[in-house]
Amino acid sequence: MSRDVYEYATIRVVPRVERGELINAGVLLYCQPRAYLCARVELDPGRLRALDPTADVDCVKEALGAYELACGPEAGPLAGESLGGRFRWLTAPRSTIVQTGPVHAGLTTNPEAELSRLFGKLVRL
């Protein structure tokens, strides 16, 4: 079975941007040859509140959910964009509470399994 190039970025929460402290709350994975784009997110409210006791957990969850929405068939304002265009838009640098880390690449035979592996390694404790 052939291996295809994929790109991924962590989705992170930086509740107090001026402090630069963050937690990984998701992974965004794009594999052009397999026409695959998916985000998986999970917020640990306790870890978020450890960085900022005043953080609005519901608001952060909603922002994280936007990454999952943008990858699906009901992609909202990104619905007309190609999967690659969506990935580039989602990984563009921004200085907001929810943002992505740098883009990394790898090879995979199964993008969905790779997303699960990365999620377990980078997001879950």
**Average pLDDT value for residue range 28-42:** 97
Confidence of residue 72 (pLDDT cuts 50, 70, 90): confident
User: Span 86-104, mean pLDDT?
Assistant: 94
Count the domains in the chain: 1
Handedness of CA 93, 60, 68, 3 (dihedral sign): positive
SS3 12: strand
Higher pLDDT, residue 100 or 80: 100
What pLDDT, on a 0 to 100 scale, did the predictor assign at position 73? 81
Mean pLDDT confidence for 57-72: 94
Burial of residue 60, with CB atoms counted within 10 A of its CB: 0-12 exposed, 13-18 middle, 19 or more buried: buried
CA–CA separation, 22 vs 14, rounded Å?
4
CA distances (Å), origin 30, targets 12, 35, 59, 104, 105: 17, 8, 26, 10, 9
Task: Please state the rounded mean pLDDT for residues 78-106.
Answer: 93
Q: What is the widest separation between alpha-carbon atoms in the chain?
A: 49
| pLDDT at residue 11 tops 80 | yes
% pLDDT > 70, the chain: 99
Task: Check whether 74 has a pLDDT greater than 80.
Answer: no
Confidence of residue 17 (pLDDT cuts 50, 70, 90): confident
Q: How far apart are CA 120 and CA 125, in angstroms?
A: 8
> Tell me, what's the pLDDT at 125?
78
Indicate the DSSP class of residue 9.
E
What mean pLDDT is predicted for residues 64-83? Answer: 87
The pLDDT mean for the chain works out to 94
Q: How do beta strands 98-100 and 36-41 pair?
A: unpaired
Domain extent at residue 33: 4-122
